Amino acid sequence: MTGAARGIGAATARALAAAGARVAIVDLDAAGAERTAEQVGAAGGEALAIAGDVTDPASVLKAVDATVAAWGRLDILVNNAGVLRDATLGRVTDEDWDLTLGVNLRGAMLCARAALPHMLAAGRGRILSATSLVARTGNYGQTAYAASKAGVIGLTRAWARELGPKGITANAVAPGFIETEMVRAVPPKVMEQVVARTPAGRMGRPEEVAHVYLFLASDLARFVNGAVVGVDGGLLL
């Protein structure tokens, strides 16, 4: 899985490992990936830390090859790597647009494309990708982020149609406001307003998103395909 050095990614890596999966942790932050792998190992799981850049096709292929070399298979892909560069339309820079779409959208495609031959060979697989509440609602100052996450929904639905007949499902998880480093950067007053609008009355926790990924990765979800599962405490309502 990608983007597992911290936050939702690290929580998902721990949850998958606790359920018996061997987890390849791919992140640009090599030290963070190692830290998550150590956490998995300390809990009795098996993990492999890989320094990788999801925007670089060669780096993605190297990560997939390392995973298959270690364990002989690749059953589940979690596209969790993501960046956020807030700016209103008039202030969006070319660099921030390219970075956001490159990591959040192109990166998901590159990882899925690299993993696909191994899933096809096995006749089964799970492709899980991180979208966002704002992909469906929009959000002030998030032109690039909202566009990238809406694109992930489009990719997921296209893959569900293409790959479902081959035993491979594709689904997306759409978190709302979760207690992560990214959300902690939001001004407290803004977060108070968000929590006030959330029927659950609080922000979510990374583990609560991880549990949804775990379900979608399991055989319990074998007939779930092309879904976008919200984990937002009802904020979308």
Position 46 scores a pLDDT of: 97
pLDDT at 182 over 80: no
pLDDT level of residue 190 (50, 70, 90 thresholds): confident
Which pTM value belongs to this model?
0.96
Residues identified as active-site: 145
CB 114 within 8 A of CB 73: no
Rounded Cα–Cα distance for residues 4 and 26 (Å): 7
Q: Show the tokens assigned to 86.
A: 């807030």
Rounded Cα–Cα distance for residues 77 and 23 (Å): 10
Rounded Cα–Cα distance for residues 101 and 197 (Å): 29
Position 12 scores a pLDDT of: 98
Rounded Cα–Cα distance for residues 237 and 223 (Å): 25
pLDDT level of residue 191 (50, 70, 90 thresholds): confident
CATH architecture for segment(s) 7-231: 3-Layer(aba) Sandwich (3.40)
Sign of CA dihedral 135, 17, 76, 124: negative
In single-letter form, the type of residue at position 211 comes to H
What is the rounded average pLDDT of the residues 177-199? 86
Rounded Cα–Cα distance for residues 178 and 160 (Å): 27
Q: pLDDT for 41-90, tens place per residue? A: 999 999 999 999 999 999 999 999 999 999 999 999 999 999 999 999 99
Position 144 scores a pLDDT of: 97
Rounded Cα–Cα distance for residues 196 and 203 (Å): 10
Q: Show the tokens assigned to 161.
A: 């149609």
pLDDT level of residue 18 (50, 70, 90 thresholds): very high
pLDDT at 183 over 90: no
Listed by start position, the domains of the chain span 7-231
* Angle subtended by helix axes 143-163 and 107-122, to nearest 10: 20
Average pLDDT over all residues of the chain: 96
